[in-house]
Structure 1
Amino acid sequence: MTNKKKPLLSVRDLSVSLAISRGGGIPILESVSFDVAEGDVLGIVGESGCGKSLTALSILRLLPKSAVVTSGQILFQGSDLLHKSESEMRATRGNDIAMIFQEPMTSLNPVLTVGEQILEAIIYHERTTRLAARKRAIETLDIVGIPSPDRRIDDYPHQMSGGMRQRVMIAMALATNPKLLIADEPTTALDVTVQAQILELLRKLRADLGMSVIIITHDLGVISDFADRVMVMYSGRVVEESTTRDLFDRPLHPYTEGLMRSIPHIDEDVARLHTIEGIVPSLGEWPQGCRFHPRCPYSTAACKGAVPELVGYAPDHSVACVRYEPSKQPRSQLASR
């Protein structure tokens, strides 16, 4: 996972468990590690239940009470967020690190105007007057493409379309100029045209503001168009991590390969799209060894042993699969690396 740029965020061996009793818990994230460089976009992909959103919530320490970080580090600008007090984290959330949550209709407060919700963050973090905060909120709504922002700032969420509510969520996240923006499924439930508008907006804001972005999605089309690097997750673990171009040119893990084959292509005439057989295992029901082996077309007896570690297979490309472990490769292949 080499990256020449200075990392803004470094997550190291992050593990999270769901507490079920005083005596133990169910692992839900295991040994998750990745970097986000300054100004870069990291895409996190995988099916529902793979741990994508949980990883994001761990960064902001917004995990549900039943979930506990059991090990690891979350280094933001060199400081471990796991060691910060709750008051220090409140100062970090929304100020240095902001998040766009999945569903704006449930994330926005229905009894407050959108302006009130944006003003709250500005006043809290910047200790400014209400008048100055309102002016800043109108400017931010204008930046994200809300028409007549000086009027729409007094609208309630139900008075806006899904695309406009998503823009409001982006405006709330950007109101305090964060260094890192986490976008959790920012285009879910939006039609194709609005999806394209939201992605173009995020791309422009990233270029204009120079902020880093983590985008969480199951849509590989979004990733290919927006991310610099990609991290593929399955059952609470990272199974592959690479530059976007290299991942699409040469997917290594069978799960990544299956995701790629599931993408419809406009120039292909197929009666049925490719699917990955089976389903993501439920929490606490992960199989022994590689967690993907029950669904993997290349599964062997070796896959049912120890869980494969994420290892560097090529420059800037890591994979967790026994087929790419040094001990499993022919000498000729190792010599060519």
Structure 2
Amino acid sequence: MTKIQEPLLSVRDLSVSLTTRRGGSIPILDRVSFDVAPGEVLGIVGESGCGKSLTALSVIRLLPKAAVVTGGQMLFQGQDLLHRSDPDMRKIRGNDIAMIFQEPMTSLNPVFTAGEQIIEAIIYHERTTRAAARKRAIEVLDVVGIPSPERRVDDYPHQMSGGMRQRVMIAMALATNPKLLIADEPTTALDVTVQAQILELLRNLQADMGMSVIVITHDLGVIADFADRVMVMYSGRVVEESITRDLFDRSLHPYTEGLMRSIPHIDEDVERLYTIEGMVPSPGDWPAGCRFHPRCPYVTAACNQAVPELTAYSPNHSVACIRYEIPREETVSCLEVK
């Protein structure tokens, strides 16, 4: 009998609210659930404001002061992170779970050298000597492709290019051999050549180290090139989840379909790219019913009231759309609905 592998991270019904100055509460994440298996790469995709980064910050418990977890469970290696003490979380954060933040220029401290910032993390988590930590910092800088790491370890962030600063962030995250790496928009603000290099680096490191990765992005090209499985978020909820191949073969949710149609293709001669009408609503302005219905090209009267739950369409594909809350043999593609 094949033993079922337990997920490294299991998030169930995670809900987060924002406390207002007047004492009110605005929900910003609504019952988000997902698993990450050992060695798996999960991609989280969606427009800005959909809750991707907030989900990641919830996992490592680095939410803004006004944001409060109001429900759910986050099991990491079987232990609920929501019930761990702050000292325990400081040991887990940066050691077992590491994160690459969006903008390396603002995430790196400009008054400390790249090496000092990596060394600090190593000493805190491994209780080693400064000399050993410096040696380890040079090793990880070399691993991530920094040229002349023995010299660059003493450089300040402003002395490095954007691509090199991103590599330093990756080196800092990998210095303690984490079991789970969260990469939040790892290729933002980089030119396409450097983006490709960073993705290739992350892919090779993930394969070599066997760690799990959560990659957060609005770029479906990154997802197609890197992720094993994809979770699509919209307005604080998960609207579709699938293995990557299935999602690109047949996206089910109208929002995912719109994201797919927005991708430019080199073999197409178009004057203007497809865009999804409207904007992502602010948390305090979420519409009733399906939150995507004001922008959906296939909206019906039922969409204004029904709150679709994430429903299994196939063993590896789930979607939150009332069109699929019927037996599979009776479903139709969004493209077939007029």
TM-score, structure 1 length as denominator? Answer: 0.96
Higher mean displacement: 313-322 or 13-22: 13-22
**Structure 1 residue 150 and structure 2 residue 158: aligned?**
no
- The offset of 1:282, in angstroms, is 1.2
Report the counterpart of residue 161 of structure 1 in structure 2.
Answer: 161
Contact in 1 for aligned 2:306/2:322 (Cα 8 Å): no
Matches within 5 A, 1:252-271: 252-271=252-271
**Structure 1 residue 333 and structure 2 residue 327: aligned?**
no
| Change beyond 3 A, Cα 1:114–1:195 | same
3-state DSSP of counterpart to 2:128:
coil
Report the counterpart of residue 284 of structure 1 in structure 2.
Answer: 284
Contact in 1 for aligned 2:9/2:74 (Cα 8 Å): yes
Between the aligned partners of 1:139 and 1:234, the Cα distance in structure 2 is: 40
Report the counterpart of residue 244 of structure 1 in structure 2.
Answer: 244
Report the counterpart of residue 179 of structure 2 in structure 1.
Answer: 179
CA offsets, 1:170-190, max 9 Å, x none?
A: 000000000000000000000
Report the counterpart of residue 105 of structure 1 in structure 2.
Answer: 105
3-state DSSP of counterpart to 1:202:
helix
Report the counterpart of residue 13 of structure 1 in structure 2.
Answer: 13
The one-letter code matched in structure 2 to 1:242 is S
TM-score, structure 2 length as denominator? Answer: 0.95
The one-letter code matched in structure 1 to 2:285 is E
Report the counterpart of residue 86 of structure 2 in structure 1.
Answer: 86
Between the aligned partners of 2:63 and 2:95, the Cα distance in structure 1 is: 19
Report the counterpart of residue 190 of structure 1 in structure 2.
Answer: 190
Between the aligned partners of 2:260 and 2:130, the Cα distance in structure 1 is: 49
Matches within 5 A, 1:117-128: 117-128=117-128
Between the aligned partners of 1:224 and 1:6, the Cα distance in structure 2 is: 25
CA offsets, 1:164-208, max 9 Å, x none?
A: 000000000000000000000000000000000000000000010
The one-letter code matched in structure 2 to 1:313 is Y
Between the aligned partners of 2:185 and 2:165, the Cα distance in structure 1 is: 14
Aligned length: 329
Higher mean displacement: 84-93 or 301-310: 301-310
**Structure 1 residue 232 and structure 2 residue 232: aligned?**
yes
Report the counterpart of residue 319 of structure 1 in structure 2.
Answer: 319
- The offset of 1:6, in angstroms, is 2.7
* Seq. identity, %: 82
Report the counterpart of residue 213 of structure 2 in structure 1.
Answer: 213
Between the aligned partners of 1:66 and 1:227, the Cα distance in structure 2 is: 32
The one-letter code matched in structure 2 to 1:333 is E
Report the counterpart of residue 41 of structure 1 in structure 2.
Answer: 41
Report the counterpart of residue 309 of structure 1 in structure 2.
Answer: 309
| Change beyond 3 A, Cα 1:151–1:224 | same
- The offset of 1:316, in angstroms, is 1.1
The one-letter code matched in structure 2 to 1:208 is D
- The offset of 1:21, in angstroms, is 5.3
- The offset of 1:306, in angstroms, is 2.9
3-state DSSP of counterpart to 2:176:
coil
CA offsets, 1:305-327, max 9 Å, x none?
A: 1311111111111100010012x
The one-letter code matched in structure 2 to 1:262 is S
3-state DSSP of counterpart to 2:270:
coil
Query: Structure 1 segments of 4 or more deviating over 2 A?
Result: 21-24
CA offsets, 1:33-66, max 9 Å, x none?
A: 0000000000000000000000000000000000
Report the counterpart of residue 336 of structure 2 in structure 1.
Answer: none
3-state DSSP of counterpart to 1:124:
helix
Report the counterpart of residue 75 of structure 1 in structure 2.
Answer: 75
Between the aligned partners of 2:301 and 2:19, the Cα distance in structure 1 is: 32
- The offset of 1:23, in angstroms, is 5.2
Unaligned segments of structure 2, at least 5 residues: 332-338
Between the aligned partners of 2:22 and 2:210, the Cα distance in structure 1 is: 45
CA offsets, 1:88-118, max 9 Å, x none?
A: 0000000000000000000000000000000
Contact in 1 for aligned 2:10/2:74 (Cα 8 Å): yes
Contact in 1 for aligned 2:288/2:305 (Cα 8 Å): yes
CA offsets, 1:200-252, max 9 Å, x none?
A: 00000001000000000000000001000000000000000000000000100
The one-letter code matched in structure 1 to 2:213 is V
Between the aligned partners of 2:22 and 2:110, the Cα distance in structure 1 is: 38
Between the aligned partners of 2:254 and 2:122, the Cα distance in structure 1 is: 45
